[in-house]
Structure 1
Amino acid sequence: MTEPLPVSSISTLVSTARQQPLRAALWHATAAIALAWTGLTAAHAQTTPIKFVLDWKLQGVHAWYYLAQERGYFAQEKIALQIDTGDGSANTVTKVMAGSYQAGFGDINAIIQNAATRPAGTVPVMVYMIYNRAPFAIMTKASGPIKTLKDLEGRNIGSPAGGAAMKMFPALADKNGIDAGKVRWTNMAPNLQEQMLRRDQVDASAVFSVTSYLNLVAQQVDPDKDIRWFHYADHGIELYGNGVLVSPQLIKDKPQVVAGLVRAIHKGLRDAAQDPDAAIDALARQEPLINKVIEKRRLQYALRQVIVTPETQRAGVGDVQDARLQRAIAQVAEAFELPRQPVAGEVFDRRFLPPLADRQLTLK
């Protein structure tokens, strides 16, 4: 016959049995916390930080980036976007090329110039064209002596040192029989372009129309009545303008991030076109000192003048027409005496565009 267990041993067994469910529950809870932490860490690790540089100080034409950011479009693509202001759309290309930024809002014509003179794989690539019609223009007083482009010979034109309109003036001159050597240039701070023209310190200014048009409005000048405009696009220049460009390294290493970046920006632009007030409110939260009325008008001016065009109504915002782009490349190459003409595929890559049906903008 088996000898009965002591009372003390029975108490120990009962206590141990009672603790088993508690230990199991604690183990499962600890495991769940560990798995959750691992999941959060993995999600954080999948987020890609991107440094993005604009072409200029904050204006209405930048509102869609901040609207996209506020509405979580970059976060949905697992992109942590840092947006910095710039100092010229041509300089945006230089900054991305130098590695200071991985992406930016800059000028495709500056990409063309660099692609013609630098090794393959070292120059940024445009992946989403925003300014279908380049906003380059020469502006002068309507009451002044410059009635035609030819009248610019012997005159003094103002421009910021990094201004894309100045850099592209040789193409305009070549197309219209202007002796560019007879034109004098005065470099000035960007915010003085309109003022120096009004004070007759320069005879004309090479400008971004979307910037200067509304700057004149803010200075109580009627840009339609008091200013004579020579838009490059109206004088034989088929150039595209600003868009989203990225480094070739980002395309190589993280093509899915490039596609996500384009999707998010496009959603922001789409929303800004449909609700400009919301877009300008998002911009104002970044820069409370902006004139919201002026910047809304600037946004709408850009949408109607350089973003939504007959071409984009057919091909959708963001894309280009290859034949036109190749003609534009030829114009740039001839004007700047480039050693070669890059092919369209070297400067623009449409692989990351959303479907055509998603790229039709509706203006409010």
Structure 2
Amino acid sequence: MTSTFSLLARRLRPLIGAAALALAALPAAAQTPIKLVLNWKYEGPQAWFFLAQDRGYFKQEGLDVSIDQGEGSAASIPKVAAGTYQAGFGDMNALIDLASKRPADAPVGVYMLYNTPPFAVVVRSDSPIKTPKDLEGKTIGGPANDGALKLFPAFAKLAKIDAAKVTISNMAPNLREQMLVRGQIDGAFGYVTTVSFSARGMGLDPAKDLRFIRYGDHGMDLYANTVFFSRSFVQEKPQAVAGFVKALNRAVKDVIANPEAGIDAVMKREPLLKREVEKDKLLATLKNDMSHPEIARIGLGDVDDERLKKAIGIVAEANQLPRQPEVGEVFDRRFLPARAERPSSTVAP
């Protein structure tokens, strides 16, 4: 009996080996490709995107996600609208602007990250500019795709600034703080956290050397950066969108619980970054840009419809947009994980 079994095993061995080789040659389960463009160069506050990639959260949802650096919070919107990318991370207000003008092309927000307005005009602490009205007759600079610059017409209208009396100067992003410190511009457009850390890199103390005129302190309680997808991708691959949002939400919770792990993922992409600076930048973003009181009620990732409706009205009126998009045109909450699965706070437990 034993010899018969051995003989059978020897005869089957080549067939088993061939079958194993054939199985190994089969392609892996198809993964849906998603190209994501970020708001800016790789940095600490993008940690969740990289962690979701490194921990296989995207792959577990059947997604093959590639992540590219961006050129400004407003610049990612047209790139997704043009079809160059399927997904992006950028300014909700620039998205509202495009949705008003070209509704068929505008992307759709699916996960709100920056729920507290970070937009500001930054001046030196010794500047005579102390109120928004003081900006008249001055030169304010910023990168062309900066979110605060794009929103300045709306801010000017709300704060009763004569925008025609303000000179706007554009420069490369890496020159903004240098030009401000040297007095080549009177003020700079930017995000509070971004400018603060750029200033620190120049040896300045933002708390002592700079003054921030925040849009949110003057009636502009706007949302800022959201994750969004192209309208066609949302319609054609809703399961992929839901999977992406689920994976991202997992990574956001991981980073809140363990910021060091998030910074590990960032440093893998840009080893020359200063780790402690990027960690501080991440923690400042969690505290300053993602901590609106509403998340205790609706959870991170979602929006308050009435607040967003008001924000749409502000942006549409101030920029004289052809129409006011509906809330559902610019944000689709269908893909959000259940409320209990999303963070109620961005402070580590």
| Normalised-by-shorter TM-score class | over 0.9
Match status 1:48 vs 2:48: no
Q: What's the RMSD between the two structures over aligned residues?
A: 1.9
Matched residues in 1 for 2:212 and 2:323: separation? 32
Q: Is the 8 A contact 2:112 2:227 kept in 1?
A: yes
Q: Which residue of 1 aligns with 2:64?
A: 80
Question: Deviation at 1:150?
Answer: 0.1
Q: How does 1:1-364 map to 2 (within 5 A)?
A: 27=15, 30-31=18-19, 34=22, 36-37=23-24, 40-41=26-27, 43-45=28-30, 47-120=31-104, 122-360=105-343, 361-364=345-348
Question: Deviation at 1:37?
Answer: 4.7
Q: Which has the larger radius of gyration?
A: 1
Q: Is the 8 A contact 2:286 2:346 kept in 1?
A: no
Matched residues in 1 for 2:54 and 2:103: separation? 38
Matched residues in 2 for 1:186 and 1:300: separation? 31
Instruction: Spell out, residue by residue over 1:292-350, the C-alpha distance to the aligned partner (whole angstroms, 9 max, x if none).
Output: 11111110001011112211121110000000000000000011101100000000000
Matched residues in 2 for 1:295 and 1:362: separation? 17
Deviates more, 1:83-92 or 1:65-74: 65-74
Question: TM-score, normalization: structure 2?
Answer: 0.94
Letter in structure 2 aligned against 1:341: Q
Q: Is the 8 A contact 2:74 2:145 kept in 1?
A: yes
Matched residues in 2 for 1:204 and 1:259: separation? 41
Question: Deviation at 1:134?
Answer: 2.2
Question: Deviation at 1:105?
Answer: 0.7
Matched residues in 2 for 1:263 and 1:284: separation? 24
Matched residues in 2 for 1:353 and 1:331: separation? 26
Matched residues in 1 for 2:19 and 2:181: separation? 72
- Check 1:201–1:44 CA distance in 2 against 1; reply closer, same or farther (3 A cut): same
Question: Deviation at 1:28?
Answer: 6.0
Question: TM-score, normalization: structure 1?
Answer: 0.90
* Structure 2: runs of 5+ lacking an equivalent: none
Letter in structure 2 aligned against 1:197: L
Q: Which residue of 2 aligns with 1:11?
A: none
Question: Deviation at 1:106?
Answer: 0.9
Question: Deviation at 1:48?
Answer: 1.0
Matched residues in 2 for 1:21 and 1:159: separation? 75
* Structure 1: runs of 5+ lacking an equivalent: 1-16
Alignment length (residue pairs):
344
Matched residues in 2 for 1:341 and 1:292: separation? 43
Instruction: Spell out, residue by residue over 1:207-257, the C-alpha distance to the aligned partner (whole angstroms, 9 max, x if none).
Output: 011211111122221111221111111110021000111011111111111
Deviates more, 1:144-153 or 1:223-232: 223-232
- Check 1:323–1:21 CA distance in 2 against 1; reply closer, same or farther (3 A cut): same
Letter in structure 2 aligned against 1:214: F
Question: Deviation at 1:32?
Answer: 6.0
Instruction: Spell out, residue by residue over 1:137-172, the C-alpha distance to the aligned partner (whole angstroms, 9 max, x if none).
Output: 111011111011000001000110111110100111
